[in-house]
Amino acid sequence: MIRNNDFSLEYINNLPCLLAHGQCAADRKKSTFLNETGVFIWNLLSDDIAIEDIFNKCYEYFEIPEDERPNARRSIQSYMDTLCYSGMVIDRDFYQKFDLKKHLKLNIAGLCLNLYGKSGLFDDSFKDFEDDSFSCSEDRIQNIYVYHIAPVFHENGELIMRDKEVTVIKTDDKYIITFPLWKYVEEVQISFDGTDVSIYVNDPENAKDEVFWAIRHAFLYFAGLHGLYALHSVSVEYDNKALMFSAGSGIGKSTHAAIWTRLYGTKQINGDLNLLGRNENGSYHVYGMPWCGTSGIYDKKTYDIIGIVLLRQDPKNSISHMKPEAKALASLNRIISPMWTQKMAEDVLNFTKGLSSAIPIWNYNCNMTDDAAACIKAEIDKTIR
Contacts of the segment 182-186: beta carbons below 8 A, 24+ positions apart: 182/210, 183/210, 184/210, 184/211, 185/210, 185/211, 185/214, 186/150, 186/151
Same domain, 246 and 360: yes
- pLDDT for 384 beyond 90: no
Regarding beta strands 229-238 and 267-270, do their DSSP bridges make them parallel or antiparallel, or are they unpaired?
A: antiparallel
| Cα–Cα distance, 48 to 51 (Å, whole number) | 10
Same domain, 238 and 379: yes
Please answer whether residues 298 and 290 qualify as being in contact, where contact means their C-beta atoms are separated by less than 8 angstroms: yes
3-class SS letters over 366-377:
ECCCHHHHHHHH
Regarding beta strands 141-147 and 111-116, do their DSSP bridges make them parallel or antiparallel, or are they unpaired?
A: parallel
Q: Which of 180, 207, 225 is the last residue in one of the domains?
A: 225
The percentage of the chain sitting over the pLDDT mark of 90, rounded to a whole number, equals: 86
Over residues 317-327, the pLDDT tens digits come to 999 988 999 99
Same domain, 168 and 312: no
Q: Which of 48, 73, 92 is the last residue in one of the domains?
A: 92
Query: How confident is the model at residue 28, as a pLDDT?
Result: 87
Same domain, 34 and 164: no
Q: What are the strands of the beta sheet with 7-12, ordered from one edge?
A: 7-12, 15-20, 32-33
Over residues 158-190, the pLDDT tens digits come to 999 999 999 999 999 999 999 999 999 999 999
Q: Which domain covers residue 46, as residue numbers?
A: 2-92
Please answer whether residues 327 and 269 qualify as being in contact, where contact means their C-beta atoms are separated by less than 8 angstroms: no
Split at pLDDT 50, 70, 90, the class of 214 is: very high
Same domain, 17 and 155: no
Over residues 266-303, the pLDDT tens digits come to 999 999 999 999 998 889 999 999 999 999 999 999 99
Same domain, 198 and 284: no
- pLDDT for 54 beyond 90: yes
Query: How confident is the model at residue 321, as a pLDDT?
Result: 86
Residue 146, domain member (yes or no): yes
Over residues 103-162, the pLDDT tens digits come to 999 999 999 999 999 999 999 999 999 999 999 999 999 999 999 887 877 888 999 999
Q: Distance of alpha carbon 204 from its chain centroid, rounded? A: 18
Q: CATH number for the domain including 294?
A: 3.90.228.20
Same domain, 268 and 348: yes
The percentage of the chain sitting over the pLDDT mark of 70, rounded to a whole number, equals: 100
Q: Distance of alpha carbon 114 from its chain centroid, rounded? A: 13
pLDDT (mean) for 218-247:
97
What is the count of structural domains for the chain? 3
Q: Which residues contact 269 (CB under 8 A, 6 or more apart)?
A: 235, 236, 237, 242, 286, 288, 297, 298, 299, 301, 303
Residue 97, domain member (yes or no): no
Average of per-residue pLDDT values in the chain: 94
Residue 67, domain member (yes or no): yes
Q: Which of 191, 225, 259 is the last residue in one of the domains?
A: 225
- Cα angle at 99 between 96 and 101, to 5 degrees? 135
pTM listed for this prediction: 0.90
